Homo-oligomer: A and B are copies of this chain.
Amino acid sequence: MSHASTWIRQLGCFAPLDAEDLKLLELAAGNARLYSTQDSLAKAGDSSDRMFVVLEGLACEYKMLPDGRRQILAYLFAGDMSDPRQLTLPYWDHSLSALWPSRILTLTTENVQRLESRSNILRAFNRYSLTKHAIAREWLVNVGNRTAMERVSHLLCEIHERMQSVGLSADNTFELPLTQSELADTLALSAVHVNRTLMELRRLKLVTFQNRHARIHDHQGLCGAAGFDHSYLRMAMLAGT
């Protein structure tokens, strides 16, 4: 199993890939680099001349306000990547950084063009990217309309489902090396309130956290608390609904 397997498995969820596609993807995944927690990949304003693929670990996209407030816009788990179309723009409007020690692949415009010359890969990229945007829409709904309890539950349901689809969740347990402060900047809550909400989830026997791992004890209960409907995550997948 190569270092790129999660990425390739994820792409395979969005379009069928043949042997030649797989070969090209494996090849492209050659020179991944290791990053540490908090290492910056790109800053808002930087030239947008490369895209990133998280092969292992965890990174995020975020925006900072001048006074230090931070909004996390997206998580990039193993198998996730930045938007390939961003390469057509002159600079980044948001920033990217690692949230945990990660193996991250950097692709140039030429690398990406070579991959996208394969119609299956192009199709997978596009459908993957559409899913990322569907997730962003749902985050806006989350932050805009849901209570703290619903927000945290909804995010956990989403992450669990994403992890499952790439085989990174077993026994309703998955690695989630996020601090409560990072969750706070994702969900637009204070870190203190995230803490209280997580403890409430524990008290309700819905989810527990140990050792940077989340364990869902009552999946149905959690989805209920979140008002979670997974259709936005599956829309672009081969299996359909």
For A143, list chain B residues within 8 Å (CB). 140, 143-144, 188
Q: A133 near B: Cβ within 8 Å?
A: yes
- A227 x B63 contact (CB < 8 A): no
Given contact pairs A71-B140, A137-B94, A227-B66, A88 touches B145 in the complex (Cβ within 8 A): no
Stretch in A171-179, A206-214, A232-240 touching the partner: A232-240
Give the CA-CA distance A235 to B93 in the complex, in Å.
8
For A94, list chain B residues within 8 Å (CB). 137
Taking the closest CB of chain B, its distance from the CB of A128, in whole angstroms, is 11
Task: Find residues 51-91 in chain A having any chain B CB closer than 8 Å to their own CB.
Answer: 63, 65-66, 69-71, 73, 83, 85-86, 88-91
Give the CA-CA distance A129 to B130 in the complex, in Å.
11
Among A90, A130, A145, A188, residue most surrounded by chain B Cβ atoms (within 10 Å): A145
- The proximity string for A residues 216-241 relative to B, scoring 1 for CB distances below 8 Å and 0 otherwise, is 00000000000100011001100011
Give the CA-CA distance A45 to B236 in the complex, in Å.
13
Q: A134 near B: Cβ within 8 Å?
A: yes
Give the CA-CA distance A67 to B73 in the complex, in Å.
26
Taking the closest CB of chain B, its distance from the CB of A156, in whole angstroms, is 18
- A93 x B63 contact (CB < 8 A): no
Taking the closest CB of chain B, its distance from the CB of A139, in whole angstroms, is 6
Q: A199 near B: Cβ within 8 Å?
A: no
Question: 8 nearest interchain CB pairs?
Answer: A144-B188, A93-B232, A69-B145, A71-B141, A71-B144, A143-B144, A63-B141, A93-B134
